[in-house]
Structure 1
Amino acid sequence: MSQRISPDTPGVDDPGPGRRIGIDVGTVRMGVASSNREATLATPVETVQRQTGFKDRDKADIDRLLEIVNEYDAVEIVVGLPRDLQGHGSSSVKHAKEIAFRLNRRLGGSIPVRMADERLTTVAATAALRASGVSEKAGRSVIDQAAAVEILQSWLDGRIAYLNKEMPHDHA
């Protein structure tokens, strides 16, 4: 019986304005996206080849992710949490949690690392790219980045909705 894994809620304990980094963790590659400073729009950054296994010390892939976080002066890291449609964790969840744990450990809690609901994002990204004429084989690293964009954009949209709910505006 698999345990239910709950993602974080965008906007809760929000660090405020600033760039976010979104990561789609795969077993072979990790897609990376970033947001603008206003935290409203996600764009692709790069694809990082996975090197660190479960029993390894942190390798160049973890170092590269931390470099990106520093380069973009990120205030929050959003790691996609792959789940099936019933909300149960898949084997990919272990990989996502491992990367999140390693980033959190290296950052010493200075930047929050969140787990975001990633249901269907890779599917959505693949379908969108296929519709635009990118073949799956040619576009694997592009698909990883597109999935990271989907994860992060969904988080940003959820964050805005949450913050707007918290602080109602007068619409005269």
Structure 2
Amino acid sequence: MQYVKPLHLFQNLLKANALQRGRLLGLDVGDKYVGLAVSDLDNKISSPLSVLIRKKSNIDLMASDFQSLISELSLVGFIVGYPFDRQRLAPNATQVKLFIDDLSKTGKLDGFKYTYWDECFTSKNVELLLKPLSLHPVLAKTIVDKFAAVQILQAYLDYMNKNESRNQLGEI
């Protein structure tokens, strides 16, 4: 896997011709689950996709699942939620990096691009929305992970599309 700066990933996506332009997959990496969200073909809207069970022992299987998703959904990059904390190293940051490193070591995603995007409060926001529904804890957790991935990807798409709009207005 190849890390690319957030802006470069989106700019390369825009430079691709319409037939080569693909979609992005948002990942919310937790200790037990990885929530997934996918962008539409225009990379404007994020939608929930699924949740993968995360274990050290199934990383090879997860890499295979990602390979399938890449071909089925025409994916061109991962937007990985990352807990940025300017004051100190966030404990969850290490687990996100380890997950990406483990995926990379499988060799199944060689050359596939990814970037990190701030996931600040995404899970907490979804938890607060779900609280009044009194869902079963396991169901609530999988929904939280899936919709946290939606928020991560949507925040990235909104920022990049807004930035692109500003660039186009500046060039006129």
Question: Secondary structure at the residue paired with 2:75?
Answer: coil
Question: Counterpart of 1:76 in structure 2: which amino acid?
Answer: G
TM-score (norm 1): 0.79
Which sections of structure 1, spanning at least 5 residues, go unmatched?
A: 1-6
Residue pairs, 1:76-115, within 5 angstroms: 76-84=77-85, 86=86, 88-104=88-104, 106-109=108-111, 111-115=112-116
Residues 87, 13 of structure 1: CA spacing in aligned structure 2 closer, same or farther, 3 A cutoff? Answer: farther
Aligned pairs for 1:10-49 within 5 A:
10=7, 13-16=11-14, 17-49=21-53
Query: Does the 8 Å contact 1:33/1:45 carry over to 2?
Result: yes
Contact (CA 8 Å) 1:27, 1:50: kept in 2 or not?
A: yes
Answer whether contact 1:51 1:61 (CA < 8 A) is retained: no
State the number of aligned residues: 159
Contact 1:10–1:158 under 8 Å retained in 2: no
User: Could you tell me which amino acid in structure 2 is paired with residue 72 of structure 1?
Assistant: L
Give the Cα–Cα distance (whole angstroms) in 2 for the partners of residues 149 and 94 of structure 1. 22
Alpha-carbon distance in structure 2 between the residues aligned to 1:28 and 1:22 = 17
- Distance in 2 (CA, whole Å) between partners of 1:99 and 1:13 is 26
* Cα distance, 1:69 vs structure 2: 2.4
Q: CA deviation at 1:113?
A: 0.5
Letter in 1 for 2:53: Q
Q: Share of identical aligned residues, percent?
A: 21
Letter of the structure 2 residue corresponding to residue 115 of structure 1: Y
Paired residues of 2:59 and 2:103 also in contact (CA < 8 A): no
Kindly report the root-mean-square deviation, in angstroms, between the aligned alpha carbons of the 2 structures: 2.6
Quote the residue 2:125 is aligned against: 124
| Larger helix percent | 2
Q: Which runs of 5+ in 2 are unaligned?
A: 15-20
Q: Whole-Å Cα distance in 1 between the matches of residues 58 and 123 of structure 2?
A: 28
CA displacement, residues 125-162 of structure 1 (integer Å, 9 cap, x when unaligned): 2122235x253713111110010000000011011012
